[in-house]
Amino acid sequence: MSTVFIALQANEDTRPIIDAIVLDNPECTVNRQPAMVKIDAQGKLTVRRETIEEQLGRPFDLQELQVNLITLSGNVDEDEDSLTLCWNS
């Protein structure tokens, strides 16, 4: 299985987002680096709007991710409810 990842800026905005990603992807690995948090997962990683909203306590538009996103890896599939990264192999 290949690794997919998403990296976000380390700041107050992303803390609940990272918590949500960990809740939805319990197998993932969180690497905290200077100014950046990189989350790796095997094969597939899903970011779900609802879980973020629960952590955040307010409505969240997944496109808001753009503001603090640093990089990602994998094929992207996004709709209003979730963003999925995956490798097909």
Partner 1 sequence: MDMKVAKKKLALKEKYKLLTRDLGWEPSYQKKDDIYPYIKYEGIKIHDWDKWEDPFRLTMDSYWKYQAEKERKFYAIIDAHAQNNGHLNITDARYLSALKIFLQAISPGEYAAGKGFARTGREFPGVGTQVACQMQSIDEIRHAQTQIHALSNYNKFYNGFHAFADARDRMWYCTLPRSFFDDAMSSGPFEFMIAIGFSFEYVLTNLLFVPFMSGAAYNGDMATVTFGFSAQSDEARHMTLGLECIKFMLEQDPDNLPIVQNWIDKWFWRGFRLLGVVGTMMDYMLPKRVMSWREAFEIYGIENGGALFNDLARYGIRPPRGWDDAGKALDHMSHQFMLALYQYNFGTAFHTDIPTEEDMAWLDKKYPTTFNKYYRPRWEHIRKLKEAGTPYKNMGLAKLCQTCQIPTVFTEPDDPTQLTIREVDYKGDKYHFCSEGCQHIFENEPEKYIQAVLPMPQLFQAPLSGDLVAWMNWVGLQNGKDNGDYFGSEDQKNFDAWRDLATRNV
Give how far Cα 44 sits from Cα of 11, 25, 67, Å: 24, 9, 22
Binding characters for partner 1, 25-54, by CB under 8 A (x = yes): --------xxxx------------------
In angstroms, give the least distance from the CB of 2 to partner 1: 3
- Using a 10 angstrom Cβ sphere, with 0-12 exposed, 13-18 middle and 19 or more buried, the burial of residue 79 is exposed
Which stretch in 16-24, 49-57, 75-83 sits in contact with partner 1 by CB under 8 A?
Answer: 75-83
CB of 18 to partner 1, least distance (A): 15
Should residue 84 be labelled a site residue for partner 1 when binding is judged by CB under 8 A?
no
Tokens at residue 47, please?
């970011």
Yes or no: say if 25 and 45 are a contact pair by the CB < 8 Å rule.
yes
Residues that bind partner 1 in the complex, under the rule CB under 8 A: 2-5, 7, 9, 33-36, 61, 63-64, 66-76, 78-80, 87-89
